[in-house]
Amino acid sequence: MSARKKIALGVLVSGSGTNLQAIIDASESGKIDARVAVVISDVPSARALERARKHDTAAVAIERKDFDSKKSFEERIVTTLKEHGCELVCLAGFMRIIGETLLGSYPDRIINIHPALLPSFPGLDAQKQAFDYGVKVSGATVHFVDDKTDHGPIICQKAVEVKEDDTAEALKERILEQEHRIYPAAIQLIAEGRVSIEGRRVIIK
């Protein structure tokens, strides 16, 4: 990989942060031209914040209940992202719908990882949705974020076979392994300037 300047990432989290860890690991190993500048969580007890601190990365808790509106809540998030020079925002298990304040501040610069092959099985518990439906193939998707849930243009996907003796939990773990691979890969494509959006299509140069 060339010695390009690393783009600054802001990662939004609500939970344990395994995808955050995958991004941090990829950055520290030199696999991606990106660094995590700040981690923001709406849950002060989220393990993801502790992961960030262990890597000397800024970790900030911003709780929705401390603000009188979604707009003011997102304004604080945007202010924090800007303070840390963030160029790309990565949702990694952030359990809130992104609103127009955040979307408007980072147009086509917010991405998300979803544990299913979109547009199938959007929303919560996607792995169990797919398993219960009886699909033979599921997987993971990295996509740009727009004003609808799990809807924006798709950057990359990875298929995961559903085995005959699978359980929903086993499938979830195998999908998670692929999430940890494709999220850093998608970030690298953006860092290299190889990604453009044409309507609903993401073009990889």
> What is the pLDDT confidence band of residue 171, given thresholds at 50, 70 and 90?
very high
Residue 17's domain comprises: 1-107
Say whether both 102 and 53 belong to one domain.
yes
The pLDDT assigned to 1 comes to 41
Could you read off the pLDDT of 15-67 as tens digits, one per residue?
999 999 999 999 999 999 999 999 999 999 999 999 999 999 999 999 999 99
Per-residue pLDDT tens for 20-32? 999 999 999 999 9
13/61 Cα distance (integer angstroms): 10
Torsion on CA atoms 133, 139, 140, 144, rounded to nearest 10: -70
In a shared domain, residues 13 and 80: yes
Q: Which of 55, 114, 143, 151 is catalytic?
A: 114
Using pLDDT thresholds of 50, 70 and 90, give the confidence band for residue 3.
low
Looking at the structure of the chain, the number of domains it has is 2
Do 194 and 93 share a structural domain? Answer: no
pTM > 0.75: yes
Alpha carbons 83 and 75: distance in angstroms, whole number: 12
114 catalytic? Reply is yes
Domain termination site, one of 79, 107, 135: 107
